[in-house]
Chains A and B, each alone.
Chain A
Amino acid sequence: MSFVPGQPVTAVVQRIEIQKLQQGDNLILGFSIGGGIDQDPGQNPFSEDKTDKGIYVTRITPGGPADVAGLMMGDKIMQVNGWDMTMVTHDRARKRLTKKNEGVVRLLVTRKSLEEVVKQSMNKYPRQ
């Protein structure tokens, strides 16, 4: 999922809605993120393109809210509640996900398998 600066990014995305879980004082989502424009993209184990500075899901707490909602490890988060996540610093991404007054986050995530599925279904029903 490489991008060319200045050109729109297109991706097949899945909508995932996660209800935050109250744990003590905090509302948690149950996953970890990595990446950001201030991070070294070469160390991202999940990205296809090693210059991709996007935000990726690096770990899912089993049974947690993200797991229940269908988020998977290795997903790239494109938007959170409408906020763009393709060009954010790591800290800003974390802040967007952990806003105290939001009980639910709606993510748009993309993963390789989604593109595959779309390609396969397009092959099945060629345009007439």
Chain B
Amino acid sequence: MFCRNQTARATVARGSALEMEIRRGKFRKSVFLDTSQQDSDIQKKIDHEIRMRDGACKLLAACSQREQALEAAKSLQTCSTRIMAYMSELQRMKEAQVMQKVTRRSSDAGPMDDRLPCKGKVAISDLRIPLMWKDTEYFKNKGELHRCAVFCLLQLGGEIFDTDMVIVDRTLTDICFDNTIVFKEASPGFELRVELYSCCSEDDYSAGSTPRKLASKLSSSLGRSAGKKLRAAMEPGPCSPISNGGASPLLLPVPSVAGPKYHLLAYTTLSLSNVQDSFRTHDLTISGNEECSYWLPLYGSMCCRLAAQPHCMTQQMISGRLKVKQCGGDPQSSTKVYAVLKGTSLFCYHQQEDVEANIEPAFTIAVNKETRIRASEKDPHSNVQNICISNQYGGEEVTHTLTTESREDTHRWMEAFWQHFYDMSQWKQCCDDLMKIELPSPRKPAPATPKQGSLYHEMGPRPCTLHQLSRSPVSPHRCPQLALLSSDASLTSDSDSHRSTSPCSHHHGWPEPSSNFSLLSSSPSHLRPRTLSLDAKLSTLRGRGYGGGGTFHCSCQPPPSSLLAPLPISSRSPRSQRSTQTTLSCSSSTSSNSSSNSEGSHSPAEGAPFSRPSMARRSLRNLRARLDPRNWLQSQV
């Protein structure tokens, strides 16, 4: 394989991963026949990625924990995608070289006249994809907590980056990726492809293909634990070409490894027209349907901040010594300056050293889309062409005349100006103002508990009851109307009886009392996250004998001394009455009252004419208001 005297032969290092792949017959060696520098760069990259991919496969086969397996599968997917991208780039370069040879032979190609726009940095950050859970799923939270692991792959040109992996279940309202991804060399016609991959996060990963509905029927009929395993084992097979992320038959196949496989859930393509200095919402194209195990109910949009810094805005385009004269000013005086063209201005410094010393320029001439630059006629005395720059400053035209030291300099400056204008016309809105791009800070060590929106992670598996809306144990809550809501709802919690009531007040990362929708209870026997429905909680309270004879405080009425007298509700013995009508009117009056209440333990100086109800009572009322989908929630901030 290695022949010193034949320079046209490809040299593949012995023992490299590439050689192994060639031996295995996965690559055609002819693909690597050219030894130009670019090709060897790409070869090295492909080599590197193949090594990474082999490592990920080994890790996947070896690891036992679900989180590790998901991470390994994610790196596998990323490596595969990168390999495919490099291969196709290699292919394109081959074709370009062949084309060049052909054109060179056929005709004398003149110097390429086309002007190329400058490249720039493109950064995408703060990706957020809202989810749209059904009312029934979200509020009642019945059944298994179906979780998916998701991440995004972002591809621009030849660069592919992946975001961190996020576990999503129905307690989350959005998928958020905190990463900032910066692509260094992007042309103005860039296409940034964003792909969202997801993978069902269950126990077994053997291949198989059963629609989810059938699987859930099976699982429910087989009994909970057996059925869950069975259902997890049957997820849509990974063998279809689509699930390989669009692998084309030319390229090497993804090695089939047992373990979690990611499937493409949604994608979109962003370009220069989507670039803006603030957040924008973009549409997502969703692939997959409800039957797939990796399905998540996406709202259909994605919010992100896409910023671009073309190099013409951040780098010096040209600099040199000039003499500047302002028309309309003193006709004889022209100032000698050292001028630097950068961004939308021509900075004129007194001396060259001022540029490094960061001293303010003597003056600045704007060079933007409205500027007109032309070369003036030759000055008969000095035989040097001048350059005139005209700007409109609020209705008045101001012209500066630049004189360079030689004719070549003039030509150089004009060329630079033309290139600059061309860049600005190509990069359009990115050249109006410099957009800020935050460089991703050096990675902080991952927190011990994954930061998720789910309550379970923040709590830790402690056997305590969390009354997340109040920091004190539930005080005797004597509001019987709340019991009405639970009239026909089934109780989902089965751990009510032996739940301990120790308050858990200070949790790591706990934002505010009423910040999350789910109540948790983890008794010593199960550590699964359970979101209790309001009904279950209320029936528990009722069971403890808290019902009967409650005062109902509302902000618009003075605190009633007797039971329900002031309230315009017909029912007087609410526990016995379970008519839906009463329930409805009760809840609506409650909600309208509670919505004007303040949340949390502090109410600002409103001058509200009510005695402060206890926190638990008010917060429980708020909880009901929040969970009832008929309401239009209001929150005090």
- A residues near B (Cβ < 8 Å) are 5-6, 8, 23-26, 28-40, 43-44, 58-59, 61, 63-64, 79, 82-84, 86-95, 97-98, 100
Q: Is the beta-carbon distance between B632 and A43 smaller than 8 angstroms?
A: yes
Q: Is the beta-carbon distance between A5 and B512 smaller than 8 angstroms?
A: no
- Known A-B contacts A8-B280, A90-B633; the reply to A61 vs B606 at CB < 8 A is yes
Q: Is the beta-carbon distance between A26 and B303 smaller than 8 angstroms?
A: no
Q: How far is the CA of A30 from the CA of B598 in the complex (A)?
A: 10
Q: How far is the CA of A90 from the CA of B595 in the complex (A)?
A: 14
Chain A: CB-nearest residue to B512: A98
Chain A: CB-nearest residue to B277: A82
Q: Is the beta-carbon distance between B279 and A44 smaller than 8 angstroms?
A: no
Q: Is the beta-carbon distance between B279 and A79 smaller than 8 angstroms?
A: yes
Given B130, B303, B511, which contacts A95 in the complex, CB threshold below 8 Å?
A: B511
Q: How far is the CA of A6 from the CA of B281 in the complex (A)?
A: 7
* Any A CB within 8 A of the CB of B634: yes
Q: How far is the CA of A97 from the CA of B512 in the complex (A)?
A: 12
Q: In the assembled complex, which residues on chain A have CB atoms less than 8 Å from the CB atom of B630? A: 40
Please give the distance in Å from B365's CB to the nearest CB on chain A.
28
Q: In the assembled complex, which residues on chain B have CB atoms less than 8 Å from the CB atom of A34? A: 632-635
Q: In the assembled complex, which residues on chain B have CB atoms less than 8 Å from the CB atom of A84? A: 278-281, 303
Chain B: CB-nearest residue to A99: B511
* Any A CB within 8 A of the CB of B610: no
Q: How far is the CA of A84 from the CA of B128 in the complex (A)?
A: 10
Given A37, A94, A100, which contacts B130 in the complex, CB threshold below 8 Å?
A: A37
Q: Is the beta-carbon distance between A28 and B604 smaller than 8 angstroms?
A: yes
Q: In the assembled complex, which residues on chain A have CB atoms less than 8 Å from the CB atom of B606? A: 61
Q: In the assembled complex, which residues on chain B have CB atoms less than 8 Å from the CB atom of A31? A: 636-637
Q: How far is the CA of A87 from the CA of B279 in the complex (A)?
A: 11
* Any A CB within 8 A of the CB of B508: no
Q: How far is the CA of A87 from the CA of B637 in the complex (A)?
A: 19
Please give the distance in Å from B299's CB to the nearest CB on chain A.
7
- B residues near A (Cβ < 8 Å) are 130, 132, 138, 173-174, 278-283, 299-301, 303, 511-512, 515-517, 596, 600-602, 604-606, 629-637
- Known A-B contacts A87-B301, A91-B515, A95-B515; the reply to A32 vs B281 at CB < 8 A is no
Please give the distance in Å from B177's CB to the nearest CB on chain A.
15
Q: How far is the CA of A64 from the CA of B598 in the complex (A)?
A: 14
Which one of B278, B512, B602, B633 has the highest number of Cβ atoms from chain A below 10 Å of its Cβ?
B633
Q: Is the beta-carbon distance between A6 and B602 smaller than 8 angstroms?
A: no
Q: In the assembled complex, which residues on chain B have CB atoms less than 8 Å from the CB atom of A97? A: 637
Q: Is the beta-carbon distance between A94 and B632 smaller than 8 angstroms?
A: no
Chain B: CB-nearest residue to A35: B632
- Supply 9 further A-B pairs (C-beta < 8 A) apart from A29-B637, A89-B174: A23-B604, A33-B637, A37-B132, A82-B278, A87-B281, A87-B299, A90-B635, A95-B515, A98-B511
Q: Is the beta-carbon distance between B637 and A94 smaller than 8 angstroms?
A: yes
Q: Is the beta-carbon distance between B604 and A61 smaller than 8 angstroms?
A: yes
Q: How far is the CA of A11 from the CA of B102 in the complex (A)?
A: 55
Q: How far is the CA of A89 from the CA of B517 in the complex (A)?
A: 12
Q: How far is the CA of A21 from the CA of B630 in the complex (A)?
A: 33
Please give the distance in Å from A54's CB to the nearest CB on chain B.
12
Q: What are 20 sample pairs from A and B whose C-beta atoms fall under 8 A apart?
A: A31-B637, A33-B637, A34-B633, A36-B633, A37-B132, A37-B299, A40-B631, A43-B632, A44-B632, A59-B634, A61-B604, A61-B605, A89-B130, A90-B633, A91-B515, A91-B516, A92-B173, A93-B635, A94-B635, A98-B637
Please give the distance in Å from B135's CB to the nearest CB on chain A.
9
Q: In the assembled complex, which residues on chain B have CB atoms less than 8 Å from the CB atom of A26? A: 512, 600, 602
Please give the distance in Å from A21's CB to the nearest CB on chain B.
8
Q: Is the beta-carbon distance between B602 and A28 smaller than 8 angstroms?
A: yes
Q: How far is the CA of A112 from the CA of B352 in the complex (A)?
A: 53
Q: How far is the CA of A79 from the CA of B278 in the complex (A)?
A: 9
- Known A-B contacts A28-B602, A95-B515; the reply to A39 vs B279 at CB < 8 A is no
Q: Is the beta-carbon distance between B629 and A40 smaller than 8 angstroms?
A: yes
Please give the distance in Å from B282's CB to the nearest CB on chain A.
8
Please give the distance in Å from A92's CB to the nearest CB on chain B.
6
Please give the distance in Å from B277's CB to the nearest CB on chain A.
9
Please give the distance in Å from A108's CB to the nearest CB on chain B.
9
Q: How far is the CA of A43 from the CA of B303 in the complex (A)?
A: 25
Please give the distance in Å from B455's CB to the nearest CB on chain A.
12
Q: How far is the CA of A91 from the CA of B130 in the complex (A)?
A: 12
Q: In the assembled complex, which residues on chain B have CB atoms less than 8 Å from the CB atom of A8? A: 280
Q: Is the beta-carbon distance between B130 and A32 smaller than 8 angstroms?
A: no
Please give the distance in Å from B338's CB to the nearest CB on chain A.
37
Q: In the assembled complex, which residues on chain A have CB atoms less than 8 Å from the CB atom of B637? A: 28-29, 31-33, 94, 97-98
Please give the distance in Å from B13's CB to the nearest CB on chain A.
49
Q: In the assembled complex, which residues on chain A have CB atoms less than 8 Å from the CB atom of B636? A: 28, 31-32
Q: In the assembled complex, which residues on chain A have CB atoms less than 8 Å from the CB atom of B635? A: 32-34, 90, 93-94
Q: How far is the CA of A99 from the CA of B637 in the complex (A)?
A: 10
The 3 closest A-B pairs by CB, nearest first: A43-B632, A84-B279, A34-B634
Q: In the assembled complex, which residues on chain B have CB atoms less than 8 Å from the CB atom of A93? A: 635
Chain A: CB-nearest residue to B176: A92
Q: Is the beta-carbon distance between A88 and B279 smaller than 8 angstroms?
A: no
Chain A: CB-nearest residue to B606: A61
Chain A: CB-nearest residue to B276: A8
Please give the distance in Å from A24's CB to the nearest CB on chain B.
5
Q: Is the beta-carbon distance between B632 and A89 smaller than 8 angstroms?
A: no
- Known A-B contacts A26-B600, A87-B303; the reply to A39 vs B174 at CB < 8 A is no
Q: How far is the CA of A14 from the CA of B44 in the complex (A)?
A: 53
Q: In the assembled complex, which residues on chain B have CB atoms less than 8 Å from the CB atom of A59? A: 596, 634
Please give the distance in Å from B169's CB to the nearest CB on chain A.
15
Q: In the assembled complex, which residues on chain B have CB atoms less than 8 Å from the CB atom of A98? A: 511-512, 637
Q: How far is the CA of A40 from the CA of B606 in the complex (A)?
A: 27
Q: In the assembled complex, which residues on chain B have CB atoms less than 8 Å from the CB atom of A33? A: 634-635, 637
Please give the distance in Å from A65's CB to the nearest CB on chain B.
10
Q: Is the beta-carbon distance between A5 and B300 smaller than 8 angstroms?
A: yes
Please give the distance in Å from B429's CB to the nearest CB on chain A.
12
Q: How far is the CA of A106 from the CA of B632 in the complex (A)?
A: 25
Q: How far is the CA of A38 from the CA of B606 in the complex (A)?
A: 28
Chain B: CB-nearest residue to A41: B632
Please give the distance in Å from B178's CB to the nearest CB on chain A.
13
Given B173, B280, B281, which contacts A89 in the complex, CB threshold below 8 Å?
A: B173
Please give the distance in Å from B110's CB to the nearest CB on chain A.
43
- Known A-B contacts A26-B602, A61-B604; the reply to A86 vs B512 at CB < 8 A is no
Q: In the assembled complex, which residues on chain A have CB atoms less than 8 Å from the CB atom of B634? A: 32-34, 58-59
Q: How far is the CA of A6 from the CA of B274 in the complex (A)?
A: 11
Q: In the assembled complex, which residues on chain B have CB atoms less than 8 Å from the CB atom of A83? A: 279
Q: In the assembled complex, which residues on chain B have CB atoms less than 8 Å from the CB atom of A39? A: 631-633
Q: How far is the CA of A26 from the CA of B283 in the complex (A)?
A: 37
